[in-house]
Structure 1
Amino acid sequence: MVSRRSALFMGGAGGVAMAGAGAWLGNVAAQPAGAPVAQGAIGGLTTAPPYAPSGRRPKNRRATWSQQFQASHGWTPGGTGTASAEANDKTQFVRGTQAVRVTTNGTGKQSYIRKSGMTAMNLTGKMIRLLFRVEDVTDLAKMVFYVGSGGLQNFFSWTFHTHSKTSANYVQSGEWVTVHLQWADVTSATGSYTISASGKPSTTTGFTDMSFAVYDSAGGPVTYRLQAVEVVPDTSGVFPKGAVSITFDDSHKSIHDLARPVMDSFGFPGTVYNIADAIGTGSFLTVDQMRSMQNYSGWEMAGHSYANAVHTASYPKLTAEQADDDFRKLREWLVSNGFTSEHFAYPHGAFQKTTDGVPVDLIASRHFTTARSIISETIESIAPANPYRLKSLTGITDGTGIGGTALSKLTAAGGKLDRCVNNGDWLILCLHKIVTGAPATSTEIGTAGLTTLMKAIDERDIPVVTVAEAMEYYT
């Protein structure tokens, strides 16, 4: 059984060129006061890597509509959760001469910046791009964006960030953050608006109202700034039915022995994020198996860490110099063994700061073209808002009572695959080990479950691309 996958996607898995300057820089450029980051360098790391990324950063898609919150913008801060606000704040901004600043009151209630009664807007084939900053995320609970009509009596909403006290967060303190909101991610509908059983919104046009809302945790106030709300072309302009990337972490031998035969039968490639230290040992892939998958099935052999001990600990447990050294050794190992991918996945999804205060994703940008997380509040887009925090859905399993993400959340009506094909997005899936029987942990999926997943993708005619192939669409 071979899918209808275009010959365009049957090429190799090498590093690719991308055009333009990146909006992702807004997520990592501004550091909190006092952070020990050297001027003109990343954490004092001044020596150029021997294999720096050859791909250029993703271009910042031109907006078809843009509100940058300069003079006379007409948006109003408010809400029962607001303590104070300045609609024309000139103390912190990255565009023009000002942004909007709001401080919540620590009650856990909604604080917002909104505008109603605008000229009706058509968002068909579009996504919303937000640019904002949270000064200190300690007491941040969640962030929501609304589009609607009738003074927001009718609206769709996206809960685009729910803050974690333990895991890596897409939104971090003192950073200007870019977020993309696609129709595949819409969370809920109110009033005359509805979302179908297959995840499709009842309308994508006629919107006159927008609201950017922040909720604190009721543990203390949160200060946030809004710099831009924009409308840009969405992923459906490149992939009308969306696209899926099937990625595997940790170099398990079962990827070659069990996953590859299933995926070969559909003509689907995968991206493997490898631990160099583990290759050729125990139950892990060999170099020959990696080359075979790359050269004969179009798979991509990407990076996860050089040292197994680093993978176990994760990069935030290291100094910036130690992390940079592991990244360097990983790229050298990949290149010296004939693997040309410039793509990376963080062990445990962790890209927070090193022990000496340098963001791990900044260090990753010295060596790789993208870096994948395991954040899945919203699904990824083309172009991604931040290629060094690529979002993915992890823990996918056909087991029961073991946690993780149930396979049915992808394959059932209205699940992630339906939303992908009906609305268009870039759905990145993160798998680990494949087993022949019933999975015992959330990092395992059975061959039966993997086959079900591949059939569901194939039946919807969703293109399957490696991460490198997806990034080609910047050129």
Structure 2
Amino acid sequence: MVSRRSALLMGGTGGVAMAGGGAWLGKVVAQPAAAPAAAGGIGGLTTPPLYAPSGRRPKYRRASWSQQFQSGHGWTPGGAGTASAEANDTSVFVRGTQSVRVTTGGSGKQSYVRRTGMPAMSMTGKMIRLVFRVDDVTNLAKMVFYLGSGSLANHFAWTFHAHSKTSANYVQSGEWVTVHLQWADVNAAAGTYSIGADGKPSTKTGFTDMSFAVYDDAGGPVTYRLQAVELIPDTVSVFPKGVVSITFDDSHKSIHDLARPVMDRFGFPGTVYNIADAIGTGSFLTLGQMRSMQDFSGWEMAGHSYANAVHTASYPKLTAEQADDDFRKLREWLVSNGFTSEHFAYPHGAFQKTTDGVPVDQIASRHFTTARSIISETIESFAPAMPYRLKALTGINDGDGIGGTALSKLTGTGGRLDRCVNSGDWLILCLHKVTEGAPATSTEIGKAGLETLMKAIDDRDIPVLTVEEAMASYT
């Protein structure tokens, strides 16, 4: 009998010719000899990676419906929170020759760009792609997208960004950002629309109205620019019941000793994001354990940092050269030890700019095919909107009063697993240490809690793939 996972992987990993002289060899790419870095490269970095990423990642998905805000688009800026706007702004854009520019008034009230009364459209099997920019996020509070009818008297709402003053943010100053909105993430409904106890929306058709809304924090204005609102195929087009990736950070030995036996019983693989410096020391994994998990249980051994000191500090505390050097050493260490993963997770989820102003996610792209964060304001989609800012749900635990994400938020009725299987998403889970008994912190999960989680996934028949396997599933 062929397992769900085996069936998903039957696309194979046979040899495929690659542009640029490389060759696809199963799960690792033999790259042509590195050439000198081009002038004007990322952050002015001049030393080329010895192991560049293969580029085996999803292509840009073509839209079935697209509004790119060129001349005559018909959308209107407005709202009590809007101080000024230009519906046809030709000063800053990333497509065509213009975008919509809006500046809020610093009042904390809603500012929007919207259109109502459009021909009715269906969102079955589709997700929304947004392309936008915030010039300066200092006073940004949140961003919401509304989809509805009856001049939005009936609507669904996605709060797709709530800005943090302390943690890494998906939306950063002066960057064009892409966000995907899926039915699994819808969090409010009004009028004749509703969201069931199982997380399902009452309808996915008949929508005539859309509104892109921004709220400042009442401490000052925010200027934002909207470039595209589009409909593209959703995760269900590749994974009809969604897909789960179970990831572990920091190379704790308990991943091998406690998590692996539990997951082996269900035939589930995991992805471990490893700190090279820690391997073989103290309470961390050994190379032998890593190889055993990879070779005999199908686990993926990915990267988290080379130096333990870098993991503790995080990459934004380094210069671009220092960060790039750690990335390079990490990738070389993985390959030299027989670990073929091209995937990475940021220590502490931090991918802001280095001390000399270079975005860490851009440096990661020189060495890896994806990079995972711990942002979960929306759940990841397939294909992902921004592969170097993969979203993941972290802090999952079965403890009492220790913070984080309660296990019941996943396993309960209408929780993340129900939404995954009913509406489809790529649910990336970020775990750390597994304990025999009750967890003491939000970065721990008890063995019993992990068993509960695995059974809940299995009961719903949701496929479980490593990050590497999921990314290879795009056709």
Distance 1:74 1:10, change over 3 A: closer
| One-letter amino acid matched to 1:456 | A
Match of 2:6 in 1: 7
Q: Give me the whole-angstrom Cα distance separating, in 2, the residues matched to 1:56 and 1:293.
A: 23
CA drift of 1:19 comes to 11
CA drift of 1:44 comes to 1.1
SS at match of 2:390: coil
| One-letter amino acid matched to 2:6 | A
CA drift of 1:378 comes to 0.4
1:70-149 to structure 2, matched below 5 A, reads 70-149=70-149
Confirm or deny: 8 A CA contact 1:434 1:445 kept in the other structure.
Answer: yes
Match of 2:190 in 1: 190
Match of 2:219 in 1: 219
TM-score where L is the length of structure 1 = 0.94
- Uncovered stretches (5+) of structure 2, i.e. residues with no partner: 20-37
Distance 1:131 1:10, change over 3 A: closer
| One-letter amino acid matched to 2:193 | Y
Match of 2:371 in 1: 371
Deviations 1:405-454 (A, max 9, x none): 00000000000000000000000000000000010000000000000000
Q: Give me the whole-angstrom Cα distance separating, in 2, the residues matched to 1:219 and 1:432.
A: 37
Match of 2:355 in 1: 355
CA drift of 1:58 comes to 2.9
Confirm or deny: 8 A CA contact 1:18 1:472 kept in the other structure.
Answer: no
CA drift of 1:59 comes to 1.0
Confirm or deny: 8 A CA contact 2:410 2:416 kept in the other structure.
Answer: yes
TM-score where L is the length of structure 2 = 0.94
| One-letter amino acid matched to 2:463 | P
- Uncovered stretches (5+) of structure 1, i.e. residues with no partner: 21-37
The alignment's C-alpha RMSD in Å is 2.0
1:427-442 to structure 2, matched below 5 A, reads 427-442=427-442
| One-letter amino acid matched to 1:254 | S
Confirm or deny: 8 A CA contact 1:397 1:405 kept in the other structure.
Answer: yes
CA drift of 1:16 comes to 11
CA drift of 1:474 comes to 2.6
SS at match of 1:206: coil
SS at match of 1:448: helix
Distance 1:14 1:261, change over 3 A: farther
Match of 1:166 in 2: 166
CA drift of 1:240 comes to 0.6
Distance 1:119 1:11, change over 3 A: closer
Confirm or deny: 8 A CA contact 1:19 1:57 kept in the other structure.
Answer: no
Distance 1:39 1:166, change over 3 A: farther
1:363-402 to structure 2, matched below 5 A, reads 363-402=363-402
Q: Give me the whole-angstrom Cα distance separating, in 2, the residues matched to 1:389 and 1:17.
A: 28
SS at match of 1:54: coil
1:301 paired to 2:301: yes
Q: Give me the whole-angstrom Cα distance separating, in 2, the residues matched to 1:290 and 1:325.
A: 24
Distance 1:244 1:18, change over 3 A: farther
| One-letter amino acid matched to 2:443 | T
SS at match of 2:201: coil
| One-letter amino acid matched to 2:133 | R
Confirm or deny: 8 A CA contact 2:69 2:98 kept in the other structure.
Answer: yes
Q: Give me the whole-angstrom Cα distance separating, in 2, the residues matched to 1:194 and 1:130.
A: 23
Q: Give me the whole-angstrom Cα distance separating, in 1, the residues matched to 2:444 and 2:12.
A: 25
Match of 2:329 in 1: 329
Distance 1:39 1:109, change over 3 A: farther
CA drift of 1:254 comes to 0.2
Q: Give me the whole-angstrom Cα distance separating, in 2, the residues matched to 1:334 and 1:12.
A: 25
CA drift of 1:15 comes to 13
Confirm or deny: 8 A CA contact 2:433 2:445 kept in the other structure.
Answer: yes
Q: Give me the whole-angstrom Cα distance separating, in 2, the residues matched to 1:342 and 1:184.
A: 28
Confirm or deny: 8 A CA contact 2:9 2:469 kept in the other structure.
Answer: no
| One-letter amino acid matched to 1:430 | C
SS at match of 1:121: coil
CA drift of 1:48 comes to 1.0
Deviations 1:146-179 (A, max 9, x none): 0000000000000000000010000000011000
Confirm or deny: 8 A CA contact 2:57 2:471 kept in the other structure.
Answer: no
1:45 paired to 2:45: yes
CA drift of 1:47 comes to 1.8
| One-letter amino acid matched to 1:458 | D
Q: Give me the whole-angstrom Cα distance separating, in 1, the residues matched to 2:110 and 2:361.
A: 31
The number of residue pairs the alignment matches comes to 457
Confirm or deny: 8 A CA contact 1:18 1:56 kept in the other structure.
Answer: no
Confirm or deny: 8 A CA contact 1:18 1:58 kept in the other structure.
Answer: no
